[in-house]
DNA sequence: AATGAATGAGGTTTCATTCAT
DNA sequence: CATGAATGAAACCTCATTCAT
């Protein structure tokens, strides 16, 4: 019974936290990070300013949580792909495809979450962009797989991983800017093609 | 005489504007965008707070000017390369090389200037990221040249241009994070290789 | 039966009030008056914030009650001594001894309770420092006894009473600040000696 | 000329700082420490809230300054007396007289400044009550002089110094509470008599 | 009776901008 | 032209108090 109490309360609490996070996201998308004040967030949720502080210690914690939970799903999805059993080149393609379909649903938010200093500086810049770093490492690992298996040339996997990811963001950005973006597969194929071929081991010298 | 007066004043004015802009850049690089207050800027230049307002209507105009002029040199340099008479693939390589050598001198500033909303939102987002757009267009033009001349496969030049540029930024970012970055040519070669090969027209099937 | 109900409830009520007061005292001693928030008090007792309000109308009433009951025991003890049948000088000595032994157990709390405005301003300063005033009056009465009996010189008893009490506090304070305070009797004797001799009627001229 | 500029500016600045400090003092005396908000202080001076911050980094610095400058004059006066060439007993009497005449002009303020935690905790409680400590030490030194010269009995000078000072405050407090306090000399004499005689070396055993 | 989520007034601090000198 | 003191809107955060459950 107590357990159930807790469970219920936790669910409810979690729901409210999410409502607040969504308000933050709406504000960021509509009016940019500068518009995210605790007052406006509360207003957007329809609660009092002080109530936000019942769920988050301070503004930074809220922003961190928003970033964390906004990126978590795609990050774990991509992780899954990268750790799968496909060939490295197929993994990269699949990875790009995952990005696009996820990003298409979230749009504007990501640039803000990933690049903007104020958000990035996660509670004192201790582990600045934890997720991002992890992502690059996993991608680099897959590229190294490809290098070892002879599919890819011998390249600096870490750097190429960064290029790959940023290229993905670049296309995301282009999609965000265009009224009618091409189907996801088209862009995923493009980025896959360029990188797979770009990394391919050249026939002869 | 009046003419001379004006000439002198204009030169002087221009000099002071530049001094202020450089102060802003120093501050951004040293302590991040949040540290850029009109007070600190004036302090850094060694003038009074009010004086800054004689040269810039408000803070936004100052930030816009900083962005504009900080990016101007590299942009025109890259422009020059892209409009040159080299083969498209050589242009892209040269372009990457230009970025790296320029970025190596400016470091932290660029992410801020290019991504952070507060700077990006140029006076009401009318021509959001003018330079950036232009850069992509020029790069896309070169890629199209390559496509037409048969060096590159038939790709969406615009998208690939964005990928290319962001990949460059990605490597820049990696350079910024590492203590002892590799020589500029190494990174420029890497990015050139990946994209040139990635875009290369495949020999038969 | 109803009576018994009331009796029980009253006892229970009284017990909870005391638990809350003790929590306040612990907080004051551990972290100072600023740390006393209704939230922390409730936490310290292990009850809900709202529950505190079932026992005290508001924060001020709680602080008043704390002050009152924290001082009550020593006050009544001292009262008892002062109303006893000893000679005035012995009463003063005994009095000082009582203070020291009591204070030694409560330390930090007293300065706060006696001097700090926020606590002192007992619900509108109507009877500001009721206890303190009473204490001075009783002490003054004893001093007057001494004057009338010829043991003490003719002095303003009220003022000397205040001096005596504050001197006691002063020594208390010194004790609080020193790592290893002297035995209680030493300080009690010191204060007794100074005042008894200080008040003693001078032999001839 | 520059020097004069600076002198004038410094004087003016100093004047404004004092005006702010006086506002704080008025507020403390009228309505207690709790009433001292930056808003109210500014209001009291007749300036804007932000302006206060041009003169004091934050609230704590302001309170520290108030305490410092409110106590400085009497402290240095007493210091002067204690370091003079009079006999120890005369010094103590003179000292008490100084206190009374100074306190008579400042009244309520001193309890607050000396005892209240929030003020006392000078910037992190590093040197808690610097002045107070110094005062006790100087007084103790004079008492020791008296002990060595045979005027006083052999007592713990430090403790007696604390008693003496607090007794002075006690009389001050009594004066503050009474509508028509006795002339300063009366109280100064009383405290002098009690302590001088209290400390006097007893004839024979 | 007890709870504790919600409230919102009120406090501190920052900083872009103005304007009298 | 240059100054920099003054302003005050606006941000963050706290906490005493209430009230539906």
Cα A135 to Cα A76: distance, rounded to the nearest angstrom: 9
Cα separation of C187 and C180, whole Å? 13
- What's the DSSP call for residue D124? T
Which fold, A1-56?
Arc Repressor Mutant, subunit A (1.10.10)
A88-109 pLDDT, tens digit each: 989 999 998 988 888 777 766 7
Please report which confidence band the pLDDT of residue A116 belongs to, taking 50, 70 and 90 as the band edges.
Answer: low
Q: Which residues contact D85 (CB under 8 A, 6 or more apart)?
A: none
Window from A75-84, A126-135, B96-105 with minimum mean pLDDT? A126-135
Which of D61, D78, D86 minimizes the C-alpha distance to D146?
D86
Residue nearest to nucleotide E19 (CA to C1'): B50
pLDDT at B111: 62
From the list B145, B199, B190, B198, the residue with the least C-alpha distance to B168 is: B190
Which of helix, strand or coil describes residue D200? strand
**Across C132-140, average pLDDT:** 87
pLDDT given for residue D91 in this prediction: 93
- pLDDT of A115 reads 55
* Neighbour-count burial of B186, counting CB atoms closer than 10 A to its CB (0-12 exposed, 13-18 middle, 19+ buried): middle
D-contacting residues of C 154-183, CB under 8 Å?
155-156, 158-160, 162-167, 169-171, 173-174, 182
D136 CB neighbours strand E below 7 A:
no
Q: Which tens digits make up the pLDDT trace of A38-80?
A: 999 999 999 999 999 999 999 999 998 988 888 788 888 889 9
Given a cut of 70, whether residue C112 has pLDDT beyond it is no
> How much is the average pLDDT of C46-71?
91
Q: Would you call C37 an interface residue with chain D, using a CB distance cutoff of 8 Å?
A: no
**Which of D116, D163, D200 is the closest to C167 by Cβ?**
D163
Residue C122, helix vs strand vs coil: coil
Q: Which residues, other chains included, contact A142 with Cβ-Cβ below 8 Å and sequence gap of 6+?
A: A82, A88, A91, A92
Of residues B161 and B75, more confidently modeled = B161
According to the model, what pLDDT value does residue D18 have? Answer: 92
pLDDT at A179: 73
pLDDT bucket at B126, cuts 50 / 70 / 90: very low
CA gap C61, C59 in Å, rounded: 5
Cα D184 to Cα D187: distance, rounded to the nearest angstrom: 6
Q: Which helix (H) or strand (E) holds A173?
A: helix A157-177
> What tokens were used for B179?
């203590």
Cβ neighbours of B197 in A, within 8 Å:
197-200, 202
Binned at pLDDT 50, 70 and 90, residue D114 comes out as: low
Residues C30, C109: Cα–Cα separation, whole Å: 9
What does pLDDT average to over chain C? Answer: 82
- Scanning B47-156, the segments in alpha helix (DSSP H) are 49-55, 59-82, 88-106, 109-115, 117-120, 130-148
Output the pLDDT for position D21. 94
* Minimum mean pLDDT range among A175-184, B76-85, B187-196, C36-45: A175-184
Strand partners, A200: A152
Name the range with the highest mean pLDDT among A196-200, B160-164, D10-14: B160-164
Q: What is the mean pLDDT of chain D?
A: 82
Query: Is the model more confident about B97 or about D29?
Result: B97
Tell me which of D111 and D175 has the higher pLDDT.
D175
pLDDT of D72 above 90: no
From the list D111, D155, D165, the residue facing C170 with the nearest CB is D165
So what's the pLDDT on residue D47?
96
| Amino acid A148: pLDDT | 93
CB-count burial class (<10 Å; 0-12, 13-18, 19+) for A121: middle
Give the range among B101-110, C1-10, C98-107, D30-39 with minimum mean pLDDT: C1-10
Q: Which residues of B touch A194 (CB under 8 A)?
A: 155, 160, 163, 194-195, 198-199
C109 contacts C91 by C-beta, under 8 angstroms:
no
pLDDT of residue C205: 46
Whether D46 shows a pLDDT value over 90: the answer reads yes
Tens digits of residue pLDDT in A162-196: 899 888 888 887 777 777 888 888 999 999 999 99
Instruction: Strand E: list positions under 7 Å from protein Cβ.
Output: 1-20
Give the range among A138-142, A194-198, B165-169 with minimum mean pLDDT: B165-169
Interchain CB distance below 8 Å, C160 and D190: yes
Contact (CB<8Å) C167/D169: no
- Specify the CATH architecture of the domain A66-199: Orthogonal Bundle (1.10)
Measuring CA to CA, how many Å separate D100 from each of C61, D15, D105, D136? 35, 27, 9, 17
pLDDT for res C114: 59
**By the CB < 8 Å criterion, does C116 face chain D?**
yes
Distance CA D128, CA D122 (A): 6
pLDDT computed for residue B52 by the predictor: 96
Cβ atoms within 10 Å of D158's Cβ, excluding its own? 17
Would you call B104 exposed, middle or buried from its count of C-beta atoms within 10 A (0-12, 13-18, 19+)?
Answer: middle
Q: Average pLDDT of C144-171?
A: 90
Strand, coil or helix: C37: coil
Candidates B194, B202, B203, partner chain A, best to mutate (most A CBs within 10 A): B194
Under 8 Å between Cβ of D173 and C162: yes
Give the model's confidence band at B135: pLDDT under 50 very low, under 70 low, under 90 confident, else very high: confident
Verify D-C touch: 3 or more CB pairs within 8 A: yes
| Structure confidence at residue C203 as a pLDDT band (50, 70, 90) | low
Nucleotide nearest to D56 (CA to C1'): E13
Out of C85-99, C137-151, C167-181, least confident range = C167-181
Q: What percent of chain C has pLDDT over 90?
A: 42
Percent of chain A with pLDDT strictly greater than 70: 82
Helices D130-148 and D59-82 cross at an angle (nearest 10°) of 10
Q: Where are the domains of chain B?
A: 1-56, 66-199
What's this model's pTM, rounded to 2 decimal places?
A: 0.78
Nearest nt to the CA of B51 via C1' is F2
User: Residue-wise over B111-138: b if at least 16 C-beta within 10 A, else e?
Assistant: bbbbbbbbbbbbeeeeeebebbeebbeb
Predicted local confidence at residue B85, as pLDDT? 92
CA dist C118 → A188, B113, D110 (Å): 67, 52, 16
Chain C residues in contact with D169 by the CB 8 A cut-off are 166
pLDDT digits (tens, 9 = 90+) for A8-24: 557 788 889 999 999 99
More confident residue, A188 or B4: A188
Which nucleotide lies nearest residue B48, CA to C1'? F3
CB B42 within 8 A of CB B26: no
Q: Which of A170-179, B35-44, B56-65, B186-195 has the lowest mean pLDDT?
A: A170-179
Quick one: which of B149, B18, B152, B141 has its CA closest to B72?
B18
User: What pairs with residue B152 in β-bridges?
Assistant: B200
Of the pLDDT bands very low, low, confident and very high (cuts 50, 70, 90), residue A129 is: low
Closest Cα in chain D to C157:
D190
Helix (H) or strand (E) holding A114: helix A109-115
Give the pLDDT of residue C8. 60
pLDDT computed for residue B201 by the predictor: 74
Mean pLDDT of chain B: 81
């Amino acid at each position: 019974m107590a357990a159930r109490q807790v469970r219920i309360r936790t669910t409810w609490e979690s729901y409210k936290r999410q409502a607040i996070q969504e308000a933050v996201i709406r504000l960021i998308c509509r009016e940019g990070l500068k518009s995210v004040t605790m007052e406006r967030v509360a207003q957007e949720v329809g609660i009092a300013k002080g109530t936000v502080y019942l769920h988050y210690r301070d503004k930074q914690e809220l922003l961190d949580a928003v970033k964390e939970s906004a990126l978590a799903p795609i990050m774990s999805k991509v992780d899954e792909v990268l750790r799968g059993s496909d060939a490295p080149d197929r993994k990269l393609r699949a990875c790009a495809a995952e990005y696009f379909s996820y990003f298409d649903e979230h749009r504007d938010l990501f640039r803000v979450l990933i690049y903007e200093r104020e958000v990035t500086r996660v509670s004192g810049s201790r582990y600045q962009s934890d997720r991002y770093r992890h992502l690059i490492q996993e991608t680099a690992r897959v590229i190294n797989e490809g290098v070892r298996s002879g599919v890819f040339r011998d390249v600096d996997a870490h750097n190429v991983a960064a290029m790959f990811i940023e290229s993905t963001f670049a296309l995301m950005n282009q999609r965000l800017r265009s009224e009618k973006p091409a189907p996801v597969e088209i862009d995923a194929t493009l980025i896959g093609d360029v990188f797979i071929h770009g990394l391919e081991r050249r026939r002869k010298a």
